[in-house]
């Protein structure tokens, strides 16, 4: 935990320097980061009660009161009693306050554009994905609602091998032999790939890979579903079901009459997806694999 705390604090020190909040004012203005944030929240709504603003930003009541008094003195906002409760104050930005906020907003956007300009497209996606991850974990909100299903791009196949190795080790204690198996499956797919009869898909959330599935040739009449994976952060979004559907539609269009898959009994969520998609269990047996005792299962369905 001490190492984690030190890592978070080091990142905080780095990022506050990057976004320029250590100086007296933001973007060569007399307004601090906190004051700019208050102006931002007031610009979002026509009017806000001071209590709502304080709770939203977690500010001390006295500190916020002094800030609003300064803003009022600078003709940035107006204050009045709430029509619903005379004990409460309602604040709203004046025309001057809106103009000051627009200046801050434009300066902030220009600063971010300048920061991103020398960064490659791939690193921009990684950056936004990392920021989205940080926000999602610390905010504790629901998973993002949108995702994209697309063909693999350069680097995605390595990601498939890497994430299979990491996740199955973390969640089931499997050893490196499973990662090696995944690597062989991917290598065989690349070496013998027939785009008319084989395909792979990557699910992307927030610009970052979050799932995978492969449809490969078993024989002339039979396709095989392989390497279904959904990141823990993206589970519950329907990605697994959509990936299976993509695989089945492609296999049918490619002319296969049947599709098969191999799984193990501990992968309950995947097994549920397969059952819902019409797969039936053909056989199963216990064996030692991937450094664990597992029950290997073979499923299939007609197309």
Looking at the domain assignment, is residue 285 inside a domain? yes
Q: In sequence order, which residues have a C-beta less than 8 Å from that of residue 133 and are 6 or more positions away?
A: 206, 208, 233
**Tens digit of pLDDT for each residue in 3-27?**
888 888 888 888 877 776 555 556 6
Tell me 83's DSSP state.
S
Q: What is the pLDDT of residue 181?
A: 95
Q: What is the pLDDT of residue 122?
A: 74
Q: What is the pLDDT of residue 32?
A: 80
**Tens digit of pLDDT for each residue in 264-273?**
999 989 999 9
Structure tokens at 178: 């499973």
**Do 89 and 215 share a domain, yes or no?**
no
Range list of β-strands (E), the chain: 48-49, 77-81, 89-93, 148-150, 199-205, 208-219, 222-230, 258-264, 280-289, 292-302
| Mean pLDDT to the nearest integer, 28-41 | 80
Q: What is the pLDDT of residue 51?
A: 83
**Do 297 and 153 share a domain, yes or no?**
yes
Q: Could you please report the per-residue DSSP string of 241-261? A: HHHHHHHHHHHHHTT-SEEEE
Looking at the domain assignment, is residue 200 inside a domain? yes
Comparing CA positions, the residue from 195, 192, 168 lying closest to residue 182 is 168
Residue 78 pairs with which residues in a beta bridge? 92
Q: What is the pLDDT of residue 25?
A: 57
Looking at the domain assignment, is residue 188 inside a domain? yes
Q: In sequence order, which residues have a C-beta less than 8 Å from that of residue 120 and are 6 or more positions away?
A: none
**Do 63 and 182 share a domain, yes or no?**
no
User: In whole angstroms, what is the distance from residue 299 CA to residue 261 CA?
Assistant: 5
pLDDT over 90 (residue 179): yes
The whole-angstrom distance between residue 100's C-alpha and the CA centroid of its chain comes to 34
User: In whole angstroms, what is the distance from residue 80 CA to residue 174 CA?
Assistant: 64
* Full residue range of the structural domain in which residue 164 is found: 148-302
Tell me 144's DSSP state.
P
Express as a percent the part of the chain with pLDDT over 90.
46
User: In whole angstroms, what is the distance from residue 290 CA to residue 177 CA?
Assistant: 5
pLDDT over 80 (residue 212): yes
User: In whole angstroms, what is the distance from residue 245 CA to residue 132 CA?
Assistant: 27
Which residue would you say has higher pLDDT here, 132 or 196? 196
- Residue ending a domain, choose from 74, 96, 118: 118
CATH number for the domain that contains residue 19: 1.10.10.10
**Do 201 and 247 share a domain, yes or no?**
yes
Task: Quickly list H helices, the chain.
Answer: 2-18, 33-44, 50-57, 61-73, 95-116, 121-139, 156-172, 176-191, 239-253, 268-276
Looking at the domain assignment, is residue 129 inside a domain? no
The total number of structural domains in the chain stands at 2
Place of tokens 């797969």: 279
pLDDT over 90 (residue 173): yes
**Do 24 and 71 share a domain, yes or no?**
yes
pLDDT over 60 (residue 279): yes
Looking at the domain assignment, is residue 73 inside a domain? yes
**Tens digit of pLDDT for each residue in 290-300?**
999 999 999 99
Residue 217 pLDDT level (bands cut at 50, 70, 90): very high
- Residue ending a domain, choose from 103, 118, 133: 118
Looking at the domain assignment, is residue 106 inside a domain? yes
Residue 153 pLDDT level (bands cut at 50, 70, 90): very high
Backbone angles phi and psi of 199, in degrees to 5: -155, 160
CB–CB of 227/201 below 8 Å?
no
**Do 62 and 158 share a domain, yes or no?**
no
Looking at the domain assignment, is residue 127 inside a domain? no
| Mean pLDDT to the nearest integer, 53-64 | 85
């Amino acid at each position: 935990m001490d190492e984690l705390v030190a890592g978070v604090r080091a990142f905080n020190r780095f990022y506050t320097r990057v976004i320029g909040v250590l100086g007296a004012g933001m973007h060569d203005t007399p307004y601090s980061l906190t004051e700019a944030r208050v102006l931002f929240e007031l610009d979002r709504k026509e009017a806000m009660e001071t209590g709502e603003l304080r709770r939203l930003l977690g500010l001390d009541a006295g500190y916020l009161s002094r800030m609003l008094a300064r803003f009022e003195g600078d003709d940035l906002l107006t204050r009045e009693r709430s029509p619903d409760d005379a004990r409460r104050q309602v604040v709203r930005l004046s025309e001057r306050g809106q103009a000051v906020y627009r200046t801050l907003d434009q300066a902030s956007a220009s600063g971010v554009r300048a920061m991103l300009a020398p960064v490659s497209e791939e690193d921009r996606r990684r950056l936004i994905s990392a920021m989205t991850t940080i926000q999602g974990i610390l905010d504790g909100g629901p998973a993002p609602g949108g995702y994209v299903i697309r063909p693999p791009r350069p680097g995605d196949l390595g990601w498939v091998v890497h994430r299979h190795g990491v996740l199955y080790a973390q969640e089931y204690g499997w050893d490196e032999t499973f990662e090696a198996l995944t690597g062989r499956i991917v290598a065989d797919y690349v070496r013998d790939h027939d785009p008319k009869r084989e395909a792979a898909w990557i699910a992307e959330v927030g610009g970052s890979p979050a799932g995978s599935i492969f449809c490969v040739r078993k024989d002339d009449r039979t396709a095989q579903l392989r390497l279904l994976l959904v990141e823990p952060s993206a589970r519950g979004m329907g990605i697994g079901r959509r990936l299976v559907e993509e695989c089945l539609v492609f296999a049918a269009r490619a002319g296969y009459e049947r599709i098969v898959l191999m799984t193990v009994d501990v992968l309950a969520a995947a097994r549920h997806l397969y059952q819902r998609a019409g797969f039936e269990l053909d056989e199963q047996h216990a064996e030692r694999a991937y450094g664990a005792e597992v029950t290997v299962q073979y499923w299939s369905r007609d197309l």
